[in-house]
Structure 1
Amino acid sequence: MPVKPDPGRALLILSLLSLPLAAQPPSVKTEVIPITEAIPEDADIQKVIAPLAAEIKASFGLPLVEAPQGLFRGRRGEENLLGYWVSDVMRRAAQPLVGAPVPFAITNAGGLRANLRPGQLKVGDIFELMPFENEMVVIELTGAEVIQVVKEGLLRRGGEPCSGVKAKVEGPPEQAVLTVTWEDGRPIDPEATVKVATTDYLYGGGDSIPTLKKGRKPFTTGVTLRQMLLDECTALGKAKKELVSPAPGRYGIPVPIQEAIRDKKLKL
């Protein structure tokens, strides 16, 4: 059956064909402008920033607490006593927040960006130590996972700063044996579930401690590590106490093992 021509349809097609093509956006030439002192400051912005900058600068000079011996990260196999202190503070601060014992805490040495020199500590010193906005997170792990976390930190960086445990490595690097106990020497029950304080950075997979990502029932405290350290120093200062370095001995790692860790040859 022949199809009758449709004049209306033909007019519609002709109208569409006569429409101009969509205009293409003009090409934009980009330019990389380095941020240097040669760029003039905006006067209006400076009027807003100046009072805030002055307030922050003044607060950085506020005294907190005396630290006669200082606290240091350690180097070339020395224990990270500064990291021990930070993890101790995390563990103490976590317990009232979750309303339960927190027997283990771990942070990362790479997040500690400055030593605390002997003398009077000021607010600015804590900001230099902890310039990041990392928050504390409390998770649940089994005892076996706690031991694995310590092992991963050991292989990654020779032992990340921990609180609540002791670890030692014995034997030759090719057949080394790692022993992890609670700080009082009690064995860790691999089946028991415990609460662990760590950082959102580590819990999120930072610094190659993958077992922390397995943490269950995560509780984000909303408190930054920096604020916890500031609160700890402020409380010590008000109580007329000094900031004292934690005792060494949380990691027992012989020199051959340290060298094997450095050379990525340790077998655990």
Structure 2
Amino acid sequence: MKNFILSFFAISLLFSCKNEPNKLVKIEGKLLPITKETESVKEIEDYIAPFKKKVESEMSSVLSYTPVDLVRTDALNESSLGNLMADLCYERANPVFKSRTGKNIDFALFNFGGIRAGITKGNIKTENAFNLMPFENTLVVAELSSEKIVELCNFLIKANTAHPLSKQVKLVATKSGYTFTINNKKIDKTKTYFVLTSDYLQNGGDNMVFFKNPIKLHKLDYKVRNAIIDYLKETDTVKVKLDGRFIMK
């Protein structure tokens, strides 16, 4: 009996000492400021040196040339850089879209805030493309109803900003109304339209909610930045002008 009792207590003690799974109680963080007094670690610098050299070489590679400064503030409702961005994205994306659908994109629209840097006169480098578009946004084509196109026009007029529009369209707004043409044709209420934009804007970014819930969405799996780089690689000298594609009277 004594041995039985001792065995019982031993077994009970074994189960009572069974490890419980660890549970996370809290996470603490600490800000470590980097100042000029912070010393580098030679081993780390030596390790990243080859990668740094490769990146710097790629960023400094020349893609194209511009005879003038390209900025987003040439005029109130359009800009040289905005026109360039919208047109080059259309030019690069339309063959992809047509090969998949047999149809053409009607026009392109992006946002003023998406242009993050200008390009100064002279050689255009890969670094310029990354500064212009530092985000990982991709190109998409939203099929919109004529009603959504009207919403798009009203948005542009109310915003009164140089949002990048491609050359296929012309918007002229006055106090009494507006005219909007796509390839020199007015909006057809019986048609749908294929509009090129970024995935960010298509999700309603920058208050462009007319892009949400399209009739159909076509994802091109093509980054905006890559389209910029591909275009510049094939363009010896960038030529762009203000052509009145959006006028407020």
Deviations 1:8-58 (A, max 9, x none): xxx9xxx79x958x7997877653323445444454443442211111111
| Correspondence list, 1:1-268, <5 A | 30-74=29-73, 77=76, 79-99=78-98, 100-156=103-159, 158-163=161-166, 164-171=168-175, 176-184=176-184, 186-237=185-236, 242-254=237-249
Asked whether the 8 Å contact 1:156–1:208 carries over to 2, the reply is no
CA contact (8 A) 2:69 2:121 kept: yes
Residues 140 and 215, structure 1, Cα contact 8 Å, conserved in 2: yes
Q: Which runs of 5+ in 2 are unaligned?
A: 1-7
- Residue pair 1:153, 1:209 contacting (<8 A) in 2 also: no
CA deviation vs aligned residue, 1:235-256 (integer Å, no higher than 9, x gap): 012xxxx2111332011113xx
Q: In 1, Cα distance between the equivalents of 2:77 and 2:162? A: 11
Secondary structure (helix, strand or coil) at the match of 1:236 reads: coil
Change (3 A) 1:190 1:121: same
Q: CA deviation at 1:63?
A: 1.6
**What CA distance in whole angstroms lies between the structure 2 residues aligned with 1:106 and 1:25?**
47
Distance in 2 of aligned mates of 1:30 and 1:236? 49
- 1:187 CA displacement: 0.6
Q: Which amino acid aligns with 1:248?
A: D
Cα distance in 2, alignment partners of residues 204 and 234 from structure 1: 30
CA distance in 1, matches of 2:56, 2:133: 17
Segments of structure 1 that go 5 or more residues without pairing to the other structure are 1-10, 255-268
- Distance, in Å, in 2 between the alignment partners of 1:45 and 1:198 is 41
Alpha-carbon distance, 1:117 to partner: 1.5
Match of 1:266 in 2: none
Q: Which amino acid aligns with 1:146?
A: I
Offset at 1:157? 5.2
Amino acid at match of 1:161: P
Deviates more, 1:43-52 or 1:91-100: 43-52
Distance 1:246 1:190, change over 3 A: farther
Tell me, in whole angstroms, the C-alpha distance in 2 between the residues paired with 1:228 and 1:112.
14
> 1 CA distance for matches of 2:30 and 2:214?
46
Of stretches 37-46 and 69-78 in structure 1, the one that deviates more from structure 2 is 37-46
Task: Give the AA of the match of 2:159.
Answer: R
Percent same amino acid at aligned positions? 27
Measured in 1, the distance between the counterparts of 2:78 and 2:125 equals: 24
Q: Distance between the aligned counterparts of 2:229 and 2:25, measured in 1?
A: 54
State TM-score, norm by structure 1.
0.75
Structure-2 change in CA distance of 1:78 and 1:177 (3 Å):
closer
Cα distance in 2 between the residues matched to 1:27 and 1:143: 53
Does the aligned pair in 2 maintain the 1:81–1:246 contact within 8 Å?
Answer: yes
Distance in 2 between the 1:178 and 1:44 partners? 64
Residue 151 of structure 1 deviates from its aligned partner by 2.2
CA positional deviation for 1:209: 0.5
Q: CA deviation at 1:76?
A: 6.7
